[in-house]
Amino acid sequence: MAYRFETDESVAEAFARAAHEQLADAGHDLRTGIQDDPVSAVHSARKSLKKERSLLRLTRGAVSGAKRRRENVALRDAGRALSATRDAEVLVQTLDELSERYAGQVPEAVFGAFRERLEAGRQVAREQLTDPAMAVEVAGQLDAVRRRISKWKLRNGDWPALAGGLKRTYADGRRAFGKARSRPDVHNLHEWRKRSKDLWYELRLLGPICGQAVRGQAKEAHALADLLGDDHDLAVLRQTLTQTGAQVAADLDAVLGLLDHRRQQLQAEAMFVGERVYAESPKAFVKRIHRSWKAGRGLAKADAVHDDAADLAQATRAVLA
């Protein structure tokens, strides 16, 4: 089932299902998918882990802090064990995208020289995935997390189980936005990206119940996270090229100039989108989402009553016939 809360589920039911699905999907990717396409399998598993961690943050007001922190650390460590391959892949992809965007401004041979260097690192990272022990070990860790989470009981029901976590996520993102706007260094921008991605995942969960307005804000948060993600990939590429550039006989300064220009564009667009995503105070934001939640729940109940009435009428007609 999709990563979303369904209208016919309680919050507890939706949480249990979504938590189980993400961890089960990640485990399947690492046990089975990694044999066919290890790069895609690791990428998919890491996405599932990020969704799981956002789900835990959303329900932080209804779960013991100690329990949640334990599983969050376990999921974070599992993701880090898989990150080396993703990082090596992204470096090559990011350089290719930069080369394509600025084709003709720097000779292809310059990009080719740096790409050759990055490909060597990517090959080493890919070879590490051929050892099934690593993937199986991480999958086993995720199974243990899934078993523990399956025993959780949310302290609060329905909206109260979500309100505190959602407000905290939005407030953290708004605060990170302010820091990044005042000082747009790599650390602050990356922290803002992580919090924006949390907001996207959480609004994505609530969208089916809360309606189009919330789904629209989820899309904007997604766009924001993508912009900041592209910027972070370029920042990591810059650091890598700067560290290894002296070992490559090519015009490093020309590539860095294009890279910095692209980062300026991405950051400017991210600031513009961020103004829209984080326009409200956390209190006003949560109140608005709560109103949409109540309206969506009410509509679902009305539809259910209508369906029951239609079924009753049909049954009555059948009896009278």
Examine residue 231 and state whether it is found in any structural domain, yes or no.
yes
What's the pLDDT band for 320 if we cut at 50, 70, 90?
A: very low
Which CATH number is 49's domain given?
1.20.120
Q: Are residues 154 and 166 in the same domain?
A: no
- Given this model, what pLDDT does residue 157 score? 83
Q: Are residues 46 and 177 in the same domain?
A: no
Is residue 21 within 8 A of residue 314, CB to CB? The reply is no
Examine residue 218 and state whether it is found in any structural domain, yes or no.
yes
Total structural domains within the chain: 2
Q: Are residues 169 and 153 in the same domain?
A: no
Point out the domain boundary residue: 158, 174, 197: 158
Examine residue 226 and state whether it is found in any structural domain, yes or no.
yes
288-299: per-residue pLDDT in tens?
999 999 999 998
What value does the mean pLDDT of the chain take?
89
Q: Which tops the pLDDT comparison, 237 or 319?
A: 237
pTM: 0.89
Contacts of 130 (CB under 8 A, 6+ apart): 38
- Given this model, what pLDDT does residue 292 score? 96
3-47: per-residue pLDDT in tens?
999 988 999 999 999 999 999 999 999 988 887 888 888 889 999
What separation in angstroms does the CA of 189 have from each of 80, 193, 240, 268, 289? 20, 6, 18, 12, 26
213-271: per-residue pLDDT in tens?
899 999 999 999 999 999 999 999 999 999 876 667 678 999 999 999 999 999 999 99
Q: Is the pLDDT at 316 greater than 60, yes or no?
A: no
Q: Are residues 262 and 307 in the same domain?
A: yes
Q: Are residues 137 and 65 in the same domain?
A: yes
What residue spans of 59-185 are helical by DSSP H?
A: 65-101, 108-129, 132-149, 160-182
- Please state, in angstroms and rounded to a whole number, the distance separating the CA atoms of residues 179 and 44: 31
- Given this model, what pLDDT does residue 228 score? 98
What separation in angstroms does the CA of 248 have from each of 95, 97, 112? 15, 20, 10
What's 278's DSSP letter? T
Examine residue 309 and state whether it is found in any structural domain, yes or no.
yes
Q: Are residues 281 and 185 in the same domain?
A: yes
Q: Are residues 141 and 254 in the same domain?
A: no
Q: Is the pLDDT at 117 greater than 50, yes or no?
A: yes
- Given this model, what pLDDT does residue 310 score? 47
- Given this model, what pLDDT does residue 86 score? 80
Q: Is the pLDDT at 315 greater than 60, yes or no?
A: no
Q: Which domain holds residue 14?
A: 9-90+127-158
Q: Is the pLDDT at 318 greater than 90, yes or no?
A: no
Q: Are residues 199 and 280 in the same domain?
A: yes
Is residue 60 within 8 A of residue 168, CB to CB? The reply is yes
- Given this model, what pLDDT does residue 241 score? 92
Q: Are residues 184 and 280 in the same domain?
A: yes
- Given this model, what pLDDT does residue 165 score? 95
